[in-house]
């Protein structure tokens, strides 16, 4: 339990070879902001693993995901540090992104807004086939056939007919299925799903989660699932990274995070969590709100909302191993022991 000043890192599964992606010490500042919006993120995803990134709106989940994909507009932000290992290659994010040839190919992403994420002017078949043609080449007819197979795979009824339909002819749930079909058309090794069910109603939400889980089992792809819904986490995650203010404050296997939460923020989230049979709960019940970048406290960024905050918390929080593979960034972790001592 010795404090370790290095940024909070993912649990060591002792199986490095299987890691598809690992992101180390990623820090990013938007132009005009006094402090980095993303302040030292470490994540990794292994084959077949579903990692859930959870945290309140605005904590930097999407920015991190978009940066991994290389989709953040370059002019508006500056990467201060970060290296990305993907499929055995290493990229220094300060100077380079994943090559476009990987995007939509080995690494794919789906978004929160199924209603607007498909191009209204092109047919569903055209949009899926385009991705196949871009990365695999071949004939248009073959690509269309592949698009058809993908629609079958994601469980869209009457797939042949759907190929020639436009997005407006599909419901939100169907559109998200199309997005998944498009993302998986080139058999990616990693799927990043940024709140894929937030905009959908509860029944459809459950169906989409089932689909992602099934596809994971079938293809062995790793999945990075972003959500602010702990119901979704409980449903689907193998491991969980809890984010607050652009930092990972707690990271570990899903059972550890739910049964043995150590960070005051995680504990707050848990007590704010709705019943599991009613997904869709929001994480707004932790008292207070995320400060703006201008008001972000130094040291532990959760300090302004933490019930246990102490003078010491003005220093950066150390990383503590609460259990094997379960790490926490807090001066007082593990909480129960240390509170007992100070009390």
Question: Contact positions toward ligand ADP, by CB under 6 A?
Answer: 30, 37, 55, 57-63, 76
Query: Does the footprint of other proteins cover residue 100 (CB under 8 A)?
Result: yes
Question: How far is 76 from 34, CA to CA, in rounded Å?
Answer: 14
Stretch that binds other proteins, among 38-46, 94-102, 217-225, 308-316 (CB under 8 A): 94-102
The strand pair at 38-46 and 222-227 is best described as: unpaired
> Is 62 a residue that touches Mg ion (CB under 5 A)?
yes
Looking at beta carbons only, is 104 or 318 nearer to other proteins?
A: 104
CB of 289 to other proteins, least distance (A): 26
Determine contact, residues 329/249, Cβ cutoff 8 Å.
Answer: yes
Q: How far is the CB of 317 from ligand SF4 (least distance, A)?
A: 4
Q: Does 87 bind other proteins (CB under 8 A)?
A: no
Where do we find the tokens 């979704």? 232
Nearer to ligand SF4, 222 or 334 (CB): 334
d(CA 263, CA 270): 11
Task: Please state the closest distance from residue 102 (CB atom) to other proteins, in A.
Answer: 7
Beta-carbon contacts of 116 under 8 Å, excluding residues fewer than 6 positions away, are: none
- C-beta of residue 215 within 8 angstroms of C-beta of residue 153: yes
Say how many Å lie between the first and final Cα of the chain, rounded.
20
Q: Does position 182 bind other proteins by CB under 8 A?
A: yes
**DSSP annotation of 155:** T
φ, ψ dihedrals at 39, nearest 5° = -125, 60
Cβ atoms 47, 20 nearer than 8 A: yes
- What is the pairing mode between strands 107-110 and 190-194? parallel
DSSP of 102-125:
TBTTTEEEE-S-TTTSS-TTS-HH
**Cβ nearer to Mg ion, comparing 76 with 121:** 76
- Using CB under 6 A as the binding rule, whether residue 248 contacts ligand SF4 is answered as no
Torsion of CA 134, 139, 141, 143, to 10 degrees: -30
Instruction: Report which residue's Cβ sits closest to Mg ion.
Output: 62
- x-or-dash string of contact with other proteins, 311-330, rule CB under 8 A: --------------------
User: What is the bridge-based pairing of β-strands 190-194 and 77-86?
Assistant: unpaired
Interaction between residue 109 and other proteins (CB under 8 A): yes
- Given other proteins, ligand SF4, Mg ion, none, residue 330, with its beta carbon under 5 to 8 Å by kind, binds ligand SF4
Least Å distance, CB 226 to ligand SF4, is: 22
Q: Cβ of residue 134: shortest distance to ligand SF4, in angstroms?
A: 45
Peptide bond into 150 cis (omega under 30): no
When CB distances are held under 5 to 8 angstroms depending on the partner's kind, the choice from other proteins, ligand SF4, Mg ion, none that residue 30 binds is none
Beta carbon nearer to ligand SF4, 204 or 313: 313
| Residues 290-329 close enough to bind ligand SF4 by CB under 6 A | 300, 302-303, 306, 308-310, 313, 317
Coil, strand or helix: which one is 132? helix
Among residues 16, 90, 161, 169, the one that binds other proteins under rule CB under 8 A: 169
Instruction: Name the residue nearer to ligand SF4 (CB basis): 195 or 247.
Output: 247
Burial class (CB in 10 A: 0-12, 13-18, 19+), 133: middle
Read off the tokens for 181: 């079909």
Residue ranges in contact with other proteins by CB under 8 A: 69, 71, 100-105, 108-109, 111, 113, 116-122, 130-131, 134-135, 166, 168-169, 179, 182-183
Residue ranges in contact with ligand SF4 by CB under 6 A: 263-264, 300, 302-303, 306, 308-310, 313, 317, 330-332
């Amino acid at each position: 339990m010795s404090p370790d000043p290095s940024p909070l890192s993912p649990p060591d599964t002792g199986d490095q070879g299987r890691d598809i992606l690992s992101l180390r010490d990623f820090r990013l500042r938007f132009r005009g902001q006094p402090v980095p919006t993303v302040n030292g993120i470490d994540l990794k995803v292994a084959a077949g693993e579903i990692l859930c990134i959870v945290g309140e709106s605005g904590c930097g989940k999407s920015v991190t995901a978009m940066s991994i994909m290389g989709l953040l507009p370059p002019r508006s932000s500056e990467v201060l540090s970060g290296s990305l290992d993907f499929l055995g290659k290493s990229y220094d994010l300060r100077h380079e992104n994943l090559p476009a040839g990987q995007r939509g190919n080995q690494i794919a992403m789906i978004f929160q807004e199924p209603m607007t994420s498909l191009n209204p002017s092109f047919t569903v078949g055209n949009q899926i086939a385009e991705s196949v043609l871009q990365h695999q080449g071949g004939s248009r007819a073959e690509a269309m056939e592949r698009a058809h197979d993908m629609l079958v795979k994601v469980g869209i009824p009457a797939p042949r007919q759907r190929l020639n339909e436009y997005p407006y002819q599909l419901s939100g749930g169907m559109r998200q299925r199309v997005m998944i079909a498009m993302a998986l058309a080139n058999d990616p090794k990693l799927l990043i799903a940024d709140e894929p069910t937030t905009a959908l109603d509860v029944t459809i939400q459950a169906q989409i989660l089932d689909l992602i889980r099934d596809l994971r089992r079938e293809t062995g792809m790793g999945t990075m699932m972003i959500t602010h819904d702990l119901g979704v986490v409980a449903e689907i995650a193998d491991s969980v990274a809890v984010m607050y203010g652009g930092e990972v404050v707690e990271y570990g296997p899903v059972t550890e995070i739910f049964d043995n939460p150590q960070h005051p923020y995680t504990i707050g989230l848990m007590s704010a969590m709705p019943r599991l049979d009613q997904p869709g709960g929001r994480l707004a019940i932790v008292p207070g709100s995320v400060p703006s970048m201008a008001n972000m406290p130094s040291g532990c960024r959760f300090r302004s909302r933490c019930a246990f905050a102490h003078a010491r918390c003005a220093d950066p929080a150390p990383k503590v191993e609460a259990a094997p593979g379960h790490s926490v960034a807090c001066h007082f972790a593990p909480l129960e022991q240390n509170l007992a001592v100070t009390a």
